[in-house]
Amino acid sequence: MTMMKDQTLSIGGVVQLTGLTERALRFYEERGLLKPSRTQADRRVYGAGDLKRIHAITALQRAGYSLDRIKGLLGADDFAEALLVDVQLEALRAERKSIDLALAALSSVKAALADGVVLDLDTLCQLIKIGEQNMKNDAWKKVYDKYYTPEEQENWKAAKDKLSPDFDQKAYEQQWRDLAAAIEAALPLAPGSDEAQQLLKQWNDLLAPFMAVADDQMKAGANRLWEDMDNWPEGVESPISKEVWAFISAANSAKA
């Protein structure tokens, strides 16, 4: 269907045709990414130009861009719609590669089972990994949606963009696992003791890259998430235990 140059849609029409929510559209507007026209009754109306911007915003978001970066791209003189196609193609190729690998592995297993082959440990581990990764991605999205507003999630994305270019996410995650294990091994431990305060210092040192770019609202949201671990959606595995979080909270209080 071709949209005529002077044709416009109400916010309800955009919602119906795109699947976006009114909340998302208003959020984009609040962040300065959209500026729909207004009728005499002060109702929003969206033209072809607005829909092109919405397409750009959603495409770049799916590719992992924060709204701050998207705003900069859309405001650039040399921004071209061809970039959106490239971005979407890159994201879809990456997703297809992951899906193709999973499909190949599962098809191979299915053929082996049909031939009566007993699965070896490596194959079983691969199947577990495929299933776990899919469940983790879905489960963690539920956590973020429950404890962070769309604006807060965008703020975290923007904060991550501000980290050093040579920031190593995998190494960083391993440091957290190692520290959590060290705390587990040291418990029970008096929160005010020198050993406890040293572990707290290591914890805060690891947090430093994010604390440097996080605002008070983001910090409060993070605390709210960890304090409510008992009520996380089913299927989410916390990288730290409740005991570790309780210890860090107590050690912080002892420090104060």
DSSP labels for 191-203? TTSHHHHHHHHHH
- pLDDT score at 179: 84
Give the mean pLDDT of the chain: 75
Sheet holding 9-10, edge to edge: 9-10, 44-46, 37-38
Cis preceding linkage at 188, omega within 30: yes
Q: Give the pLDDT mean for 124-142.
A: 56
Q: Give the pLDDT mean for 233-239.
A: 66
- pLDDT score at 130: 52
- pLDDT score at 1: 44
Task: Give the CA count within 13 Å in the CB-facing half-sphere of 105.
Answer: 17
- pLDDT score at 166: 62
Confidence of residue 132 (pLDDT cuts 50, 70, 90): very low
Q: Which residue has the tokens 């960890």?
A: 226
- pLDDT score at 175: 81
CA dist 8 to 19, 47, 234, Å? 17, 5, 43
- pLDDT score at 135: 44
Task: Please give the share of the chain, as a percent, with pLDDT higher than 70.
Answer: 73
Which token pair is 122? 């490596």
CA distance 32 to 209: 27
**Amino acid identity for residue 53 in this structure:** R
CA distance 127 to 91: 24
- pLDDT score at 99: 72
- pLDDT score at 125: 59
- pLDDT score at 18: 82
61-117 tens-digit pLDDT: 777 677 777 888 777 665 666 666 677 677 677 777 777 777 776 777 677 677 776
Confidence of residue 151 (pLDDT cuts 50, 70, 90): confident
| pTM exceeding 0.85 | no
Residue of 94, 124, 99 whose CA lies nearest to 109: 124
Q: Which residue has the higher pLDDT, 172 or 136?
A: 172
Which token pair is 237? 């595995």
CA distance 13 to 22: 10
- pLDDT score at 216: 79
The SS3 call for residue 22 is helix
| CB proximity list for 211: less than 8 A, separation 6 or greater | 204, 219
Give the range among 9-13, 145-149, 190-194, 236-240 with minimum mean pLDDT: 236-240
Confidence of residue 14 (pLDDT cuts 50, 70, 90): confident
CA distance 186 to 165: 34
Q: Which residue has the tokens 């409740």?
A: 242
pLDDT beyond 70 at 224: yes
Q: Give the pLDDT mean for 131-138.
A: 51
- pLDDT score at 137: 56
